[in-house]
A and B are shown apart, each in its own frame.
Chain A
Amino acid sequence: MNIGYIYYDLLNLYGDDGNVKALKQRLTNQGVKVNIDYISLGDIINFAKYDIVYIGSGTDDNLLIALDYLKEYKSDIKRYINGNKFFLATGNSVELFGKYIQKGEEKLEALDILNYYTEYNDSRIVNDINYSCTQSSKNIIGFENHRGHIISKEKNFLYKDDNKYGVVYNNFIGTYLIGPLLIRNPYFLEEYIKRLLNTENIKEDNYYLEIEAYKKAVELIE
C-alpha cells in the first residue's frame, strides 16, 4: 500500500506523524508491504498512486500556505475522494476541503470539495474529548485545540453528538482532533485497518499497551 503524507514538514503541530507510524506498523503486521511518500511543499503529488493520503495540523499561517499549494490539485483530490479512496485529515487541515474559511470579515476560498465551510471563533477551542463516533464501535478520545469549526448542511458527521468538529464522506475522514489519533484510539485503528483491507478477518495484532493507555484516557476525560 502507498501512503502519501502531505506536507509532513509543514503541517505537524502535535505529533501528527504518529498516525502514519500507526498505519505503517499495523499494516506491516498484517503482512502488507507499506511505502510512505513524505511530501513537501512544491513536490509533485500523484494522487492516483496512493491508497491512503494523510494530512495533519498546522499553524494558521502554514495552513494557508498549504492551501495555496494544494489548489493546483483540486480536481485530483476530488477524484481521489469520489473514488472512495482513503483520506485522513486531522486538526485544522479539515478546513481545507470545505468551500471556504470565514475569519471575521475575511473570506478565504478553500478547496471546495466537500459540502461545508469553516467559521473562526475569537478564542481557541481547547478540549479533551470523548465522543461516540459513527466510524467506530468505541468512543473516540483525543484533544482539540483550534479556532475554527465546521458548518455543514449535511448529516455527514464523524461524531454522533456533534456536528462541528468532524466530517465523513466516502472514505474521507476529517476531524479537529490533533495529534496521533490512530495511536490513542486502538479500537478505531483496528476497524480502520479492516476497512482498508476490506475484510473482517484480519490477523490478530498486539494492542495491549495502546488499550491500557486508552483505558486510562477514557477514565481521565470522563
Chain B
Amino acid sequence: MLGTVLGKTIIFVENIFKFNASSFPGRVVLKLFPNYLKKLKYPKLVIMVTGSSGKGSTTKYIADILKKNNMTVGHNVYGSNLLDGIATAIIRVTKGKTVKADALVLEVDERYLKFVTKYIKANIIAINNITRDQPPRQGNYEEVFGEICKGLNTDTLVLNADDPLLKRFEDVFDGKIVYYGIDKNQYSFKELDDIKNTAYCPKCHTKLVYDYYHYSSVGDFECPKCDFDRGKINYEIDSIKDNVVTINNDVKITIDNDTLFNLYNIVSTYAVCKTINMSDEKIVNALNHDKTMRKLFNEYTINDRKYTILNCKAENNATYNLNLLHVLKDKDRKTLVIGLRQISRRYDHFDLSWLWDINFEILKDNNIDKIICAGPYRYDIAVRVKYAGFDEKNIIIMENTNGMKEIIENQTSGNIYGILNFDYVEPFIKETKGGK
C-alpha cells in the first residue's frame, strides 16, 4: 500500500539524518491518506493503555513481557501517543496492508483515544488513573472522563479499582471489566489531609468513607448511603516487602523500586497479561528486575550522601504527591531540591495553581534540613513551600542548576531528594555528578 511505502521511506530518511522519527512519518501519511489506518489488517491482539500518568511505563512493561515471550510487538516506544505517533509506530511494523506483528501495544493520550479507536478496535484498554493534569489542555478530570468514554471501542477494560472516578466507567461500558488494586500495606494512610476530588459518591453525592488511602482519593472507599464501593478486585497486590510484591497471595515479583506509581504500573501490567491468558511464570520471569522505571527513578551516592531523583510532571499534582510520600519513607535527615524549567512542552501558559494541589504540608516536621527551589518559577515554588509551614530561612532559591553542587555540599545536610520536572532531571544529575 502506498501509505506504508511512503511512511517507511520517511522513517528511513529520518533515520539517516538521525532524526527521531516518532510522529512525522505518520503525520504525512495520514495527511495524504486519511483512511490509511482504517484499511490495515491488524493483529489479533491490540492492547491500549491510557490515563493521566503511568501509561508510558505500563506499555513498556507489557511490550517487554510479550517480546520476552517471543512475540513480535508494535509499540509507540518513543512516547508519541497522539494519532500521528501511533500511526508511525504502526507503519514501522506494517508490510503492505498487514500489520506484521503478533501484538500492538499502544500508549494512547486520553483525549486521542476516541480518534485511535475509531480506526483500530482494541481487545483491551487499560485505564490507570484520571487525575488533575495539564489544565489548559484537558480542562478538568470530568472532561477527560467524558473524552475517554467516547473511545471505548474494546472488548475489555482493565481498571484501577482504588480510584472512585474510574468506577464510573461501569455505567457507560457494557463489556467485561477487570479490576486491579493495592491492598492496605505499611505505606497506606488511615487519614490523609488531602482529599480534593471525587471524595463524594458519584451516584448520591454522599461523602465517601475510606478504610485507608494510598494517595489523594485513591484507596478503599465505600458510600455510607448507597451501594457504591471499591468492589471486587481481580488482581491485587497484598504486600510489599524488600522490593518483592505479592499478588493475590501467591505470585511474587521483584521490582526495581517500590514507589506507589511503580506498584500500580506493575499490577496494571499483570492484570493485562492475565487477561490475555499468560501464565504467571511467563509474566514473573519477564517482569523481575525490569529496569523500565529507571528513567523515572534514579539513585546514586556522592561523598557519602545519597541522591534520589524522582521524576515529576508539572501540572500533575499526583506525581508530586506520590513522590513526596516516597521521600517520607526515609526517616533520616533530608534535603529537597524542587526544580522545573518549563511548565509544558505543548503550550505557553504560566499557570502555577497546580503547585497548590500538591500536599507539601506533609513535609512538615519530617527531618528536612533545606529545600532548594530552582528554575524560572523558583519564587512560586518557594512561596508554596513557605505556606506549607517551611521556614523561609531554610529555603534556598536558585535561578538554575549552576553551582548547585557546591550549595548542596556546603549549605545542606542529609540525603538529597530531587523532586524534579522531566526537564530538570538531566541538568541536575549532570551538575551534581560533576559534568560527566
List chain A positions with a Cβ less than 8 A from chain B.
9-10, 12-18, 21-22, 25, 40-42, 59-62, 65, 124, 126, 128, 143, 145, 178-180, 183-184, 206, 209-210, 212-213, 216-217, 220-221
Contact = CB atoms under 8 A, between A and B. Distances in A.
Contacts of B132: 13-14
Contact of B379 (A10, A128, A145, A213): A213
Contacts of B135: 13-14, 145
Nearest to B196: A12
Looking at chain B, what size class is its interface with the partner chain?
20 to 34
A14 B142 contact: no
Nearest to A181: B353
Contact of A183 (B136, B140, B350, B383): B383
Interface stretch (B13-21, B52-60, B148-156, B199-207): B199-207
Given A42-B207, A184-B352, 6 more contacts: A14-B357, A21-B387, A59-B141, A213-B377, A213-B382, A216-B380
B350 A9 contact: no
Contacts of B354: 14-15
A178 to B, nearest CB: 6
Interface of B: 132, 135-136, 139-143, 195-197, 199-200, 205-207, 349-357, 376-377, 379-380, 382-383, 386-387, 392
B195 A124 contact: no
21 contacts: A9-B195, A9-B196, A9-B199, A14-B353, A14-B354, A15-B355, A17-B356, A22-B387, A40-B207, A59-B142, A128-B351, A143-B350, A178-B353, A179-B352, A180-B353, A183-B356, A209-B382, A209-B392, A213-B380, A216-B376, A216-B379
Among B132, B205, B354, B356, the most chain A Cβ lie within 10 Å of the Cβ of: B356
Contacts of A59: 140-143
B357 to A, nearest CB: 5
A34 to B, nearest CB: 14
B348 to A, nearest CB: 8
Contacts of A212: 379
A78 B365 CA distance: 43
A210 B141 CA distance: 29
B195 to A, nearest CB: 6
A38 B384 CA distance: 21
A23 to B, nearest CB: 11
A86 B407 CA distance: 45
Given A9-B199, A18-B387, A213-B383, A221 B350 contact: yes
Contact of B351 (A40, A42, A179): A179
Nearest to A7: B200
